[in-house]
Structure 1
Amino acid sequence: MELRSEQIRTGVARAPHRSLLKADGITDEEMKRPFVAVINSRNDIIPGHNNLDKIAEAVKAGIYMAGGVPFEISTIGVCDGIAMNHEGMHYSLVSREVIADSVECAVQGHAFDAMVCIPNCDKIVPGMILGALRVDIPTVFVSGGPMLAGKQPGGCGPTTDLNTLFDGAGKVAAGTMTEDELKYYEDTACPTCGSCSGLFTANSMNCLCEALGIALPGNGTVPAVYSERIRLAKEAGMKVMELLRDGVTMRDVVSEAAIHNAMECDMAFGGSTNTVLHLTAIARAAGHPITMADWDAASARTPHLVKLQPSGPRPLSDLYEVGGVPVVLAELDKLGLVDRSAVTCMGTMGDYLDYMHAHCIGADGEVCRRADDPYSPQGALKVLYGNVAPGGAVVKKSAVDPSMLVHTGPARVFDSEEAACEAINADAIRPGDVVVIRFEGPKGGPGMREMLTPTSAIVGRGLSTSVALITDGRFSGATKGPAVGHVSPEAAAGGPIALIEEGDSLTVDIEGGAITLNVSDEELAARRAAYVPPAPKHDHGVLAKYARLVSSADEGAYVS
């Protein structure tokens, strides 16, 4: 098999190239081996990434043991928790595209033969996947792993995590928690390096890498501080050399079957609604586009098997203890919901599942429910349509109190997250209201900011069983309650959410999959005729560029 790196190291004309490689310390012997990119998002600011130097060293050792020459290359990253509720959040989703571009530039510019990607948090995972699909070489993903959960005072009660702090800030404002109590959680809820310990966006995506077949078992659940994570990284380095030998590229793995399997797994464990955004973009990049209707169908046929924080009381480490993502896939396979023909980095999904059924205990019945005893016969995420969201919207149904599965109330309309937070913190939101936050979509934000601060403030004030929220923005994986995001088309594109007026009656029917503005078609038409869109919020820099290029949320906020 001809290697791409021959372009930079073979023949008389490549003597200048070899000289530069020798300046890197490459020997004549190494010049005969495949060149493998190790794309590392390590940095000092994101706690899920400050341990990735150790992961990269292990990956490089694995590559070298298997006969390759590793070259480490860095990408950027944005921590959604630190970026939350200020201007920085405009840049989180934008960073996904910057990361994809950087992977493409680095790999194509240097003609690498194969690649191992080391992401961990939020948009870094899908950004690297998008970049890897563009270059389409043998690729394996290995994340930095989740952090361990924090503990309550005395070690009793439910574990704590970053979401404890966001909810706690709302409780302090409401007078139900003291600042000293909040300080305890500030010091203990994020006790180790790693991605935040619940089934939030980062851990959801790292688990879905296993379902997609681009990562080895344990990628999404082995804790960041366990030595098993280092061994997994070495195995990933060796595994990519097997894929190179066999000629298995990224697009061979991320097939239509693989995307189906990831959607099934996503519905079964009910992770972040951001996964809908990212998998939709990934499917488009892979050449197998999916729609909101496909998500709706997946939700209808897939049982909800896993209920981790923030939807339930357990941290992600509990799923690790009972076997991780493979156990979830094995339960889905019993129902015929897994496409066994999918190629993975370990062979076919069918062969892998046969091994699981023969050698593993199976679901424990508590952390992961058995296929015949799910939390719900439908998936944990739900798609809603209606005259507010003709293109669809998404809610994490598993994190909604049953009393709020259908809610009708007056609209409280805000044209930014900041304005909504100001009203919530001023106790201007009353039980029964429907909070509407608009002009926060991919174009209108720009960057489709996450709304964890307003949803946490609502929870902290005890309003999550009496107040619904809808937005054309998106939510952190830590969000819980009747929070409906990704409303499409967005307000900035002239979507109906832009036409809602203060006091309008809105119905959010999660059970029925509908979100309805209770005004006549004639009234909506009159409002549309009189509507004047506001000026863009940003007219220069990367945000303005992104706003010009990005698609709608129901298309994955994809930049082609």
Structure 2
Amino acid sequence: MNKKINYLSAQLTQNPNLPAAKAMLYATGLPEEYFKKAQVGIVSNWYEGNPCNMHLNRLGRSIKKSVHEKELVGFRFNTIGVSDGISMGTPGMRYSLPSREIIADSIETVANSQHYDGIIALPGCDKNMPGVLIALIRINRPSVIVYGGSIASGYYKGEKLDVVSSFEALGKRKTKKISEEEYKNIIKNSCPGAGACGGMYTANTMAAALEAMGMTLPYSSSTPAIGADKEWECFKMGGVIQKLLQKDIKPKNIITKNSLKNAISLTTALGGSTNLILHLLAIAKTAEIDLTLPDFKKINDSVPLIGNLKPSGKFLMEDIHAIGGIPVIMKYLLENGLIEGDCMTVTGDTLKENLKYVPSLSFDQKVISSINHPIKKEGHFRILYGNIAPGGSVAKITGQEKMKFSGRARVFNSEDAFNRSILSCKINKGEVIVIRYVGPKGGPGMPEMLKPTAYITGAGLGKEVALITDGRFSGGSHGFVVGHITPEAQEGGPIALINDGDIVTINAVNNTINLEINENEWDIRRKKWRAPNLKVNMGYLYKYSKTVSYANEGCVTDQFIET
């Protein structure tokens, strides 16, 4: 074995002036002959309280076994996770996006302090994926990611279910579209076991993006959480990390402007979550790559929507697996010039080389449409600007909603206030719902508005109202919704100045979002506005609200650090 691959760990194990380091490694059970072997940190987002993550400890054991079989030393450690589905619509959801920073910081801390030569990361849920990748870019040593995999679909009365089904069921129950018994049975059958939420929501969007960027093995993002295929992927990790160590291939060799563009192109074609934009902006900043909102718009205008996937379509990630997996779709995009094939990947080969022997996409299925007959001729992401969002905003318009919406504003200064209103049947057709003071600072933590969008859909108002917010949306959200409005209300952004009854006009053709009032009225309202106190005054969320950047910058927390 090439001695160079243990360069970092040797600074501890081969240094005669660090007896305590050796003593502690002996205490872990490490034999003396293993002190000269490269050490690999195996980090997992395992915890028992969430189906997305509860199986990761088992997968981690398989990965460690494969590492040892390649004469490497594997040390497992954990980082945190937050269950978006459990915390959704509660104050706990404020911690979801901020958890990305804790994940990144904690992995960086352990990997650097322990001098691991390489890292294998095993994420399972939404913020896990960008969190681990940000860390791997920071430490920039040979690394690979294994996605924990997607959950199987639930079933009730012959219909496929997922976690969003349970949210939408509450709206249906409140409007008496289903009975109490049906409501309970939908909840009981929505999530049948381990794995991340099954649609093209944020977890699967980010997993597909990681595969397109080259940071996972081919098929990782579409391989289900439970089954021999995921176990086999884990058993291959020893050989993968060994090759990366020997060739000294690092994340910054893989994460480039072109690989980020590939991630955007694939997830645009599949109808992915708007959270992708936040996370890729943060990943790009970490990798010192110039990526901005206009880059997303440019790709969105050239890549058609071809994925008939939930939340706006019919199918789940398990259905992509059944038709050949994500590589089949990437090969199709490569053949049509929509992704770049010369990007390096964790296999040690380029993306084009990885896809060489992948079968071609068959159109004898209903999950993926052809580029010649797409669901929508351009992508579903819309970057909107206007007097409400001078710094930009993000919409997810699949073509099944209206492309234009104008209506009178109904303003709510919290998510909870809106939820109470719609569950009391007090929302009217034609209104533009405004939920504000839920941005990165105002939330704090920019919580997702899945409950509001699910309640709107469940109440049968999905095509009858629009919703705008300085918060963000779950990948499970759909409808005529606009989020990430910048600047946010807490910072005195124009969204803070909207009043009930104002006319709001959203145009997803011209990509504009405007309030129909004159400049004099704007001035009057600006002078009257006063910033409310932050909702917290201590703890992690207080530190986060004091350091987090705007949504159009990726909500990173290191912008004040001088370089």
TM-score (norm 1): 0.96
**Structure 1 letter corresponding to 2:201:** F
Shift of residue 185, structure 1, vs aligned partner = 1.1
CA distance in 2, matches of 1:11, 1:77: 36
Partner of 1:209, secondary structure, is helix
CA shift for structure 1 position 298:
1.2
Q: Residue in 2 aligned with 1:385?
A: 385
> In the alignment, which residue of structure 2 is the partner of 1:440?
438
1:424-457 Cα deviation digits (max 9, x unpaired): 1122210000000011000111000011111111
Question: CA offsets, 1:360-397, max 9 Å, x none?
Answer: 45555521222333222211222111111111111221
2:370 matched to 1:351? Answer: no
Matched with 1:183 is 184
Partner in structure 2 of residue 26 of structure 1: 30
Deviations 1:256-311 (A, max 9, x none): 11111111111111111111111111111111131111111111011112121111
**Equivalent residue letter for 2:501:** G
Amino acid across the alignment from 2:52: G
Cα displacement (A) at 1:14: 2.7
Letter in structure 1 aligned against 2:162: D
- Counterpart contact for 1:56–1:118, Cα < 8 Å: yes
- Kindly report which structure 2 residues correspond to 1:546-557, keeping only aligned pairs within 5 A, or say none: 546-557=544-555
Which of 149, 154, 179 is the aligned partner of 1:150?
154
Amino acid in structure 2 at the alignment position of 1:486: H
In the alignment, does 2:98 pair up with 1:94? yes
Which residue of the other structure, out of 44, 53, 56, is the alignment partner of 2:48?
A: 44
Within 5 Å, give how 1:325-474 maps onto structure 2.
Answer: 325-346=326-347, 347-356=349-358, 359-362=359-362, 364=364, 366-398=366-398, 401-402=400-401, 404-474=402-472
Match of 1:9 among 13, 16, 22: 13
Where in structure 2 are the equivalents of 1:44-63 lying within 5 Å?
44-63=48-67
Count of residue pairs brought into register by the alignment = 553
Range with greater deviation from structure 2 (200-209 or 432-441): 200-209
How has the CA–CA distance of structure 1 residues 237 and 508 changed in structure 2, closer, same or farther, with 3 Å as cutoff?
farther
Amino acid at match of 2:282: A
What is the DSSP-based 3-state SS (H/G/I as helix, E as strand, rest coil) of the residue aligned with 2:284?
A: helix
Aligned to 2:561: none
- Give the one of 64, 69, 75 matched to 1:71: 75
Are the counterparts in 1 of residues 45 and 123 from structure 2 also a CA contact under 8 Å? yes
Aligned counterparts of 2:556 and 2:171: Cα–Cα separation in 1:
33
Aligned to 1:122: 126
- Amino acid of the residue matched to residue 195 of structure 2? G
Q: Which ranges in structure 2 are unaligned for 5 or more consecutive residues? A: 559-563
Determine the structure 2 residue equivalent to 1:166.
Answer: 167
Residues 119-153 of structure 1 show CA distances to partners (whole Å, capped at 9, x for unaligned) of: 01011111111111111111110021111001122
CA distance in 1, matches of 2:253, 2:51: 33
Secondary structure of the residue that 1:344 maps to in structure 2?
coil
Structure 1 gaps of 5+ residues are none
Aligned to 1:308: 309
Q: Distance in 1 between matches of 2:254 and 2:71?
A: 23
Report the AA paired with residue 439 of structure 1.
Answer: Y
Q: Is the contact made by 1:490 and 1:497 (CA closer than 8 Å) also made in structure 2?
A: yes
Moved more, 234-243 or 139-148: 234-243
**In the alignment, is the contact (CA less than 8 A) between 2:120 and 2:146 conserved in 1?**
yes
Q: Distance in 2 between matches of 1:454 and 1:343?
A: 41
- Describe how 1:102-141 pairs up with structure 2 within 5 A: 102-141=106-145
Q: TM-score normalized by structure 2?
A: 0.96
d(CA) in 1 for partners of 2:492, 2:324: 47
Going from structure 1 to structure 2, the CA distance change for 1:401 and 1:360 (only over 3 Å counts) comes to: closer
8 A Cα contact 1:330 1:362, kept in partner: no
Q: 1-side partners of 2:509 and 2:330: how far apart?
A: 26
Does structure 1 conserve the Cα–Cα contact (< 8 Å) formed by 2:271 and 2:380? yes
Q: Secondary structure at the match of 1:515?
A: strand
Secondary structure of the equivalent of 1:376? Answer: coil
Q: CA deviation at 1:315?
A: 1.6
Please name the residue that 2:518 is paired with: 520
Residue equivalent to 1:265:
266
Structure 1 residue 328, shift from structure 2 partner: 1.9
8 Å CA contact 1:392, 1:488 repeated in 2: yes
- The correspondence for 1:499, drawn from 497, 500, 520, is 497
Distance 1:342 1:363 in 2: 27
> Contact 1:382 / 1:394 at 8 angstroms: preserved in 2?
yes
Residue 477 of structure 1 aligns to a residue whose secondary structure is coil
| Residue identity matched to 2:121 | C
2:331–2:360 contact (8 Å) kept in structure 1: no
The corresponding residue for 1:218 is: 219
The separation in 1 between residues aligned to 2:364 and 2:286, in whole angstroms, is: 36
- Residue 385 of structure 1 aligns with an amino acid whose one-letter code is Y
C-alpha separation in 2, matches of 1:119 and 1:82: 18
Equivalence for 2:228: 227
- Between the aligned partners of 1:26 and 1:137, the Cα distance in structure 2 is 23
Amino acid at match of 1:429: I
Deviation (angstroms), 1:218: 1.8
Measured in 2, the distance between the counterparts of 1:20 and 1:341 equals 44
**AA paired with 2:355?**
L
Offset of residue 513 of structure 1: 1.3
1:516 Cα offset (Å): 1.1
Contact 2:257 2:291 in 1 (8 A): no
Contact 2:101 2:557 in 1 (8 A): yes
The code of the aligned residue for 1:48 comes to C
Asked whether the equivalents of residues 450 and 474 of structure 1 are also in contact (C-alpha less than 8 Å), the reply is yes
Per the TM alignment, residue 491 of structure 1 is displaced from its structure 2 partner at its CA by 0.8
Measure the CA separation in 1 of the matches of 2:361 and 2:512. 40
CA contact (8 A) 1:268 1:328 kept: no
Is residue 223–residue 229 contact of structure 1 (8 Å, CA) maintained in 2?
A: yes
Decide whether the 8 Å contact of 1:327 with 1:363 is kept in 2: no
Distance (whole Å) between structure 2 residues aligned to residue 266 and residue 428 of structure 1:
36
What is the Cα-based RMSD across aligned positions, in Å?
1.3
What secondary structure sits across from 1:13 in the alignment?
coil
The aligned residue for residue 276 of structure 1 is 277
CA distance in 2, matches of 1:305, 1:468: 24
Inter-partner Cα distance in structure 2 for 1:437 and 1:83? 18
Paired with 2:110 and 2:15, the residues of 1 have a C-alpha distance of 23
Q: Which moved more, 1:364-373 or 1:263-272?
A: 364-373
Q: Distance in 1 between matches of 2:520 and 2:365?
A: 52
